[in-house]
């Protein structure tokens, strides 16, 4: 087998335990000393295996196996090395580890790819320190103004740029990735579907779009004991009534999407005081662009039907269109898995990943490995070693095929034009 299971495990444990806390969880927030240690070790591993290294000016790290046509857009595989606070071993690290092992395996068998192959580790994917997830990958496609990114502050007031320079990862502007032949990321599922369906690999069709809103219910603070009901302007009642109607409507109508109220803030939040204001945070998701907009409209109309314009205000917080990945690569992966007798589940990702921005640079696809009990962002996060190994094997096959001009179906199509 080309993928060396022992080496894969070795690389994984080398990287994933950096930042281990006394309770066994991992805290490796972006651009901290722990993140620097993981980056340093990753680069050391790349150098040990004679792969060339470059770092761009957002701190994204690339390891490269040169191709016969060095100027061709590369095949890029990878993920991220940062974690949330008290996270687990697998989120992100699995993708970087698999990417690195694939490059080492190809190098070992002296594979001479027609186009370059790169492994990438993106900066601040989690958004757990600097409040913008997928920061390194989004910066490559100008999804946010560069100045905004560089001046973004963590909770202690340190900026992204300061910290990037402090750990010595403020690399070269011309090292940025600007086109890819193909991007593929292996990631843990962070949900229960694969485990439930007993399938070892998920092939990802795309990433759901999302719409976040803040709904503020307004009233008047009064004493809980001495204010009769008819004199109250209690926003809690309006909140409870509206939220109940929203969930009812969501269950009836939002068949392909999801609706969640995950956070509620009460002012002044004192048990014997009628609230002055209740703020709820809504998360609406759908894999289809039009359906997402329709869901948002439905939710809005329920809120307006249940309230007057004086007692409620809706603020839009974030919106992200759904992203669809390459159907050609999806088919390629299904074929490779089919030939190896591996059952797959074709699915959408609910969570965001660096891959969300990559379709702007070239053909993109993702693979999921099952998460035990669907758990992630916790020390309980676990994925079976056999599944991780198998996903690396499958990606190895895809990378090998895509890096050979005579085998890749893209190039075949180009040639037949």
Q: Among 86-94, 218-226, 257-265, 293-301, which window interacts with Zn ion (CB under 5 A)?
A: 86-94
Q: Which is nearer to Zn ion, 36 or 377 (CB)?
A: 377
Q: Which two tokens stand for residue 46?
A: 């790349």
Shortest spacing between CB 91 and Zn ion, in angstroms = 4
Q: Among 7-15, 92-100, 129-137, 222-230, which window interacts with Zn ion (CB under 5 A)?
A: 92-100
The answer to whether 76 touches 182, Cβ cutoff 8 Å, is yes
Using CA atoms, how far apart are residues 63 and 52, in angstroms rounded to an integer? 6
Q: Which is nearer to Zn ion, 137 or 403 (CB)?
A: 137
Q: Which is nearer to Zn ion, 57 or 91 (CB)?
A: 91
Shortest spacing between CB 30 and Zn ion, in angstroms = 12
Q: Are strands 117-122 and 277-286 parallel, antiparallel or unpaired?
A: unpaired
Show the beta-strand stretches assigned E in 268-339. Answer: 277-286, 312-320, 323-324
The answer to whether 317 touches 248, Cβ cutoff 8 Å, is no
Q: Which two tokens stand for residue 92?
A: 């992100």
How many C-beta atoms surround the C-beta of residue 238 within 10 A?
A: 20
**321 marked as binding residue:** no
Q: Among 88-96, 112-120, 169-177, 293-301, which window interacts with Zn ion (CB under 5 A)?
A: 88-96
Q: Which two tokens stand for residue 219?
A: 């009233």
**126 marked as binding residue:** yes
- The reply on whether position 91 binds Zn ion by CB under 5 A is yes
Q: Which is nearer to Zn ion, 91 or 189 (CB)?
A: 91
Q: Which is nearer to Zn ion, 92 or 171 (CB)?
A: 92
Shortest spacing between CB 90 and Zn ion, in angstroms = 9
Task: Give the chain's end-to-end CA distance (angstroms, integer).
Answer: 36
**10 marked as binding residue:** no
- The reply on whether position 171 binds Zn ion by CB under 5 A is no
**91 marked as binding residue:** yes
Residues 6+ apart with CB under 8 A from 364: 180, 182, 183, 184, 325, 326, 329, 355, 358
Shortest spacing between CB 191 and Zn ion, in angstroms = 13
Among residues 120, 107, 98, the alpha carbon closest in space to that of 178 is found at 120
Q: Among 90-98, 198-206, 246-254, 362-370, which window interacts with Zn ion (CB under 5 A)?
A: 90-98
What letters, b where the CB count within 10 A reaches 16 and e where it falls short, cover 146-156?
A: eeebbebebee
Shortest spacing between CB 122 and Zn ion, in angstroms = 10
Q: Among 89-97, 134-142, 308-316, 391-399, which window interacts with Zn ion (CB under 5 A)?
A: 89-97
Shortest spacing between CB 203 and Zn ion, in angstroms = 17
Q: Which two tokens stand for residue 207?
A: 């990433």
- The reply on whether position 35 binds Zn ion by CB under 5 A is no
The correct pick among 67, 92, 136, 200 for binding Zn ion (CB under 5 A) is 92
Q: Which two tokens stand for residue 87?
A: 């996270």
Q: How far is CA 134 from CA 52, 186, 269, 313, 358, in A?
A: 24, 15, 34, 30, 11
Q: Which is nearer to Zn ion, 207 or 336 (CB)?
A: 207
Shortest spacing between CB 356 and Zn ion, in angstroms = 11
Residues of each annotated binding site for Zn(2+): 80, 91, 126, 187, 377
Give binding residues as ranges. 80, 91, 126, 187, 377
- Write out the residues near Zn ion by the rule CB under 5 A: 91-92
């Amino acid at each position: 087998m080309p993928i060396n299971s022992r080496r894969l495990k070795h690389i994984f444990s080398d990287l994933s335990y950096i930042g281990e806390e006394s309770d066994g969880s991992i805290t490796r927030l972006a651009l901290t000393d722990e993140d620097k240690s993981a980056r340093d070790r990753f680069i050391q591993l790349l150098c040990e295996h004679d792969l060339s290294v470059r770092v761009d000016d957002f701190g994204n790290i690339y390891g490269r196996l040169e191709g016969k046509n060095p100027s061709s857009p590369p095949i890029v595989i990878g993920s991220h090395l940062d974690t949330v606070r008290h996270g687990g071993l697998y989120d992100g690290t699995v993708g970087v580890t698999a990417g690195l092992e694939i490059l080492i395996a190809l190098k070992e068998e002296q594979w001479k790819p027609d186009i370059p192959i790169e492994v990438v580790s993106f900066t601040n994917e989690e958004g757990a320190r600097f409040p913008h997830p997928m920061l390194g990958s989004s910066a490559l496609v100008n999804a946010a103004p560069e100045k905004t990114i560089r001046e973004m502050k963590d909770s202690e007031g340190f900026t992204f740029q300061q910290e990037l320079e402090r750990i010595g990862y403020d690399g070269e502007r011309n090292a940025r990735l600007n086109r890819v032949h193909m991007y593929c990321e292996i990631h843990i599922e962070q949900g229960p579907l694969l485990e439930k369906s007993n399938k070892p690999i998920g092939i990802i069709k795309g990433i759901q779009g999302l719409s976040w809103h803040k709904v503020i219910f307004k009233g008047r603070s009064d004493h809980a004991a001495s204010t009769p009901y008819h004199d109250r302007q209690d926003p809690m009642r309006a909140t409870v009534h509206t939220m109940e109607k929203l969930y009812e409507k969501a269950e009836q109508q939002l068949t392909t999407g999801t609706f969640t109220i995950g956070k509620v803030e009460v002012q002044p939040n004192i048990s014997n005081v009628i609230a002055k204001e209740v703020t709820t945070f809504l998360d609406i998701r759908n894999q289809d662009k039009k359906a997402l907009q329709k869901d948002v409209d439905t939710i809005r109309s329920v809120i307006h039907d249940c309230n007057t314009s004086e007692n409620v205000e809706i603020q839009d917080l974030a919106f992200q269109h759904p992203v669809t990945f390459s159907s050609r690569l999806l088919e390629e992966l299904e074929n490779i898995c089919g030939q190896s007798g591996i059952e797959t589940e074709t699915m959408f990702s609910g969570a965001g990943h660096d891959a969300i921005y990559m379709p702007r640079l070239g053909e993109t696809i993702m693979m999921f490995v099952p998460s035990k009990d669907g758990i992630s962002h916790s020390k309980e996060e676990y994925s079976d070693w056999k599944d991780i190994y198998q996903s690396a094997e499958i990606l190895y096959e895809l990378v090998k095929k895509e890096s050979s001009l005579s085998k890749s179906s893209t190039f075949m199509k180009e040639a037949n034009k």
